[in-house]
């Protein structure tokens, strides 16, 4: 790859050489002198497993991660505070080590001492000649308008600049060009779902977003918009608009359905859902038999609500999918329950089945015929598209603008499924979710297990909402 020195974009040349706000001279004064032996030792211990012994991005774990670990020898870094085509500053590298890259497998290394992190910065720079050949060109940002930002102007820029072409009109990563993207290394990639601020690898504040707009994301097809936005101060309006698309995630280790009297909701428009507890489950792609991911994930999370009465539980599941697929294979979702008689910790579904593992209790819905059923399955690979259900379940699904809504109802006592989960009583049940996006036929996304708390009230009637 050829690297060129890039002039600062029009409208930003006047701030050449300035540091970003928040980077202090005190931090620079505290950094230790380079110690190549210490940097290499820290790299070998903490980084080589993913990035490889030589920094080529070919570590033993690299193939099972999305996005793939960076080839550090190229000196191309996505998340920088510098002009497109120029390498990151030392502070950029230090920040990435300190904060990690949310939404990827790059963790934060805050447990390492600052001295060790600075030695890693020095060592990473030694892996690529780019840092000596091409000076960094830090960007400074125009003044933040704060509460004076113009959301309408930001929304107009979002459309004018073609952001919706990849990210979708509502930011749900369902734009018309989203499916055909590749990075500079030929790997298939997906645009960010802008509603999922927790997965913004470069940070989710308006300032973070503005930096991405000005710097671009080198190697990933995201250009710098510094020359496209005039006047440059308008970039803040776009940054604030993108930030406004984020939907708060509700991370919990369990879900306690709302207990109601009478009939359960039969529609996602039922106003009782507004008061129902909600949790967000993060999903990860299942790797293939060689341990590699097959397709870049399109479904990164699912939101789950539930209501229950004395007879049944109904789940409301919401997830983003670039397009509805009802062919063969279809889009599909499974609520997976721990079977009756199973106790103790549950092995992740990524590793299912294992020696002696019980059959899973699967409540499966598919978009082909819009029906749901329940059955036991020893192997998760056989779930998708299965027709031999042991009992049918009530379901309702709708799709609009990149988002599925699904209601799935199951009796508390599954008498027609021998060995099925018994819900309620005075114990927790284990629950996980699997989702298949037929637009990426080789991909299936799996959540971790959470506790489903369906313990019935011991006295008195269930409250009505």
pLDDT for position 154: 98
d(CA 30, CA 451) in angstroms, rounded, equals 46
Of 367, 320, 319, nearest in space to 191 by CA: 320
pTM over 0.95: no
The pLDDT tens digits for 208-251 are: 999 999 999 999 989 999 999 999 999 999 999 999 999 999 99
Decide: 166 and 178 in contact? Cβ < 8 Å.
Answer: yes
Give the pair of three-digit tokens for residue 155: 């929304």
Provide the token pair at 192: 């960010």
Burial label for 10, CB within 10 Å (0-12, 13-18, 19+), is exposed
Q: Provide the 3-class DSSP secondary structure of residue 147.
A: helix
The boundaries of every CATH 2.60.40.1190 domain in the chain are 254-452
Question: Which residue, among 316, 277, 252, has the nearest Cα to 447 in the 3D structure?
Answer: 252
CATH 1.10.760.10 location in the chain: 13-133, 146-244
Using CA of residue 203, residue 91, residue 67, residue 78, what is the dihedral sign?
Answer: positive
231 upstream amide cis, omega within 30 of 0: yes
Contact criterion met (CB below 8 Å) for 92 and 81 = yes
**What dihedral angle (degrees, nearest 10) is formed by the CA atoms of 251, 254, 256, 257?**
70
**CB atoms inside a 10 Å sphere around CB 254:** 15
Q: Distance (Å, rounded) from C-alpha 334 to C-alpha 389? A: 13
CATH fold of 146-244 reads Cytochrome Bc1 Complex; Chain D, domain 2 (1.10.760)
Task: Return the CATH number of the domain spanning residue range 254-452.
Answer: 2.60.40.1190
Q: Could you report the per-residue pLDDT of 264-298, keeping only the tens digit for each? A: 999 999 999 999 999 999 999 888 878 888 788 89
Sign of CA dihedral 101, 106, 112, 115: negative
Q: How many CB atoms lie within 10 A of CB 208?
A: 18
- Give the phi and the psi of residue 408 in degrees, each rounded to 5: -140, 120
| 80 within 8 A of 88, measured Cβ to Cβ | yes
pLDDT of residue 427: 78
DSSP states of 13-44 as a string? GGGTTPPPTT--HHHHHHPPPP-HHHHHHHHH
Contacts of residue 95, defined as CB under 8 A and 6 or more positions apart, other chains included, come to: none
Which positions of the chain have pLDDT values less than 70?
Answer: 1-29, 340-345, 385-388, 414-415, 457-465
What is the spatial distance between Cα 161 and Cα 150, in angstroms, rounded to a whole number?
16
If one looks up domain 13-133 in CATH, what number appears?
1.10.760.10
Measured in degrees and rounded to the nearest 5, phi and psi for residue 337 equal: -115, 150
**Sole residue written with tokens 């300032």:** 207
Q: How far is CA 388 from CA 407, 408, 416, in A?
A: 21, 18, 13
């Amino acid at each position: 790859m050829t690297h060129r020195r890039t002039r600062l974009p029009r409208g930003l040349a006047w701030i050449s050489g300035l540091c970003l706000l928040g980077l202090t001279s005190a931090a620079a004064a505290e950094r230790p002198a380079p110690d190549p032996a210490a940097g290499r030792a820290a790299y070998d211990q903490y980084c080589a497993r993913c990035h490889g012994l030589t920094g080529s991005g070919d570590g033993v774990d690299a193939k099972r991660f999305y996005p793939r670990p960076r080839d550090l020898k190229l000196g191309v870094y996505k998340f920088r505070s510098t002009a497109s085509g120029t390498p990151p500053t030392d502070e950029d590298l230090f920040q990435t080590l300190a904060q990690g890259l949310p939404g990827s497998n790059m963790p934060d290394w805050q447990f390492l001492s600052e001295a060790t992190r600075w030695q890693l910065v020095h060592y990473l720079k030694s892996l690529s000649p780019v840092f000596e050949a091409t000076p960094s060109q830090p960007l400074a940002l125009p003044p933040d308008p704060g509460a004076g930002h113009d959301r309408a102007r930001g929304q107009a820029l979002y459309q004018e600049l073609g952001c919706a072409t990849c990210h979708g009109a509502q930011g749900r990563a369902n734009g018309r060009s989203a499916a055909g993207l590749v990075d500079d290394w030929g790997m298939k990639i997906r645009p960010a779902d802008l509603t999922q601020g927790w997965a913004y690898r470069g940070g989710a504040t308006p300032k973070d977003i503005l930096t991405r707009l000005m710097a671009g994301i080198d190697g990933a097809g995201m250009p710098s918009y510094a020359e496209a936005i005039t006047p440059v101060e308008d970039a803040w309006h776009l940054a604030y608009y993108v930030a406004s698309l984020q939907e708060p995630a509700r991370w919990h280790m369990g879900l306690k359905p709302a207990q109601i009297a009478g009939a359960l909701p039969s529609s996602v428009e039922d106003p009782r859902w507004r008061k129902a507890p909600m949790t967000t489950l993060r999903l990860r792609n299942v790797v293939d038999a060689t341990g590699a991911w097959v397709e870049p994930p399109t479904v990164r999370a699912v939101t789950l609500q539930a209501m229950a009465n004395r007879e049944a539980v109904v789940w409301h599941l919401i997830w983003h999918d670039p397009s509805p697929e009802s062919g063969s294979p279809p889009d599909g979702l499974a609520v997976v329950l721990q079977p009756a008689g199973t106790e103790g910790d549950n092995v992740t579904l990524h590793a299912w089945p294992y020696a002696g593992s019980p059959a899973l209790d699967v409540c499966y819905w598919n978009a082909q015929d819009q029906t749901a059923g329940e059955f036991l399955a020893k192997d998760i690979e056989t779930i998708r598209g299965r027709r031999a259900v042991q009992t049918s379940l009530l379901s309702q699904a709708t799709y609009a603008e990149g988002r599925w809504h699904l209601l799935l109802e199951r009796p508390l006592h599954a008498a027609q499924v021998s060995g099925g989960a018994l819900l309620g009583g005075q114990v927790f049940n284990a629950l996980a979710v699997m989702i298949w996006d037929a637009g990426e036929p080789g991909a299936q996304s799996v959540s971790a297990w959470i506790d489903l708390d369906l313990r019935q009230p011991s006295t008195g009637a269930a409250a009505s909402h």
